[in-house]
Amino acid sequence: MGNSDKRYVGIHQDLYGGMTDTGKIIREAWAFGILPEDETCEGWTAQGLESLWQQVQAEWEKYGYRVANLPPELQARYLRIQEEAVQRARAAGWNPSLDDEDE
């Protein structure tokens, strides 16, 4: 069995409540309406997640990869989803200051 057989644990079982690259893709897919917000992607293959990433990137491209360029309703949904994720992650012990500044 190689890496291609590995399945994603799901955003709510991911490290720090999903504050990972994969979790970010899933949250953005929720915001853009690519996935329903109750889809955790548990059991998804790497290929499925790669396809999701490509769809999310195509949506971001429309808005120049900037939250400020999102239409108001989409921006509000995006920010709500991110805020809820941060609250869940902090409850799971995530400390954002340790992510980027540990060099």
Angstrom distances, CA of residue 82 to CA of 2, 19, 43, 47, 79 = 33, 10, 23, 25, 5
Q: What digits encode the pLDDT tens for the residues 26-50?
A: 999 999 999 999 999 999 999 999 9
Say what the pLDDT of residue 99 is: 54
CB-based contacts of 39, cutoff 8 Å, min separation 6: 26, 29, 30
With vertex at residue 12, the alpha carbon angle to CA 64 and CA 28, rounded to the nearest 5 degrees, is 10
Q: What is the pLDDT along the chain (103 residues), one digit of tens a residue?
A: 445 578 999 999 998 889 999 999 999 999 999 999 999 999 999 999 999 999 999 999 999 999 999 999 999 999 999 999 999 899 888 887 765 544 3
Say what the pLDDT of residue 1 is: 41
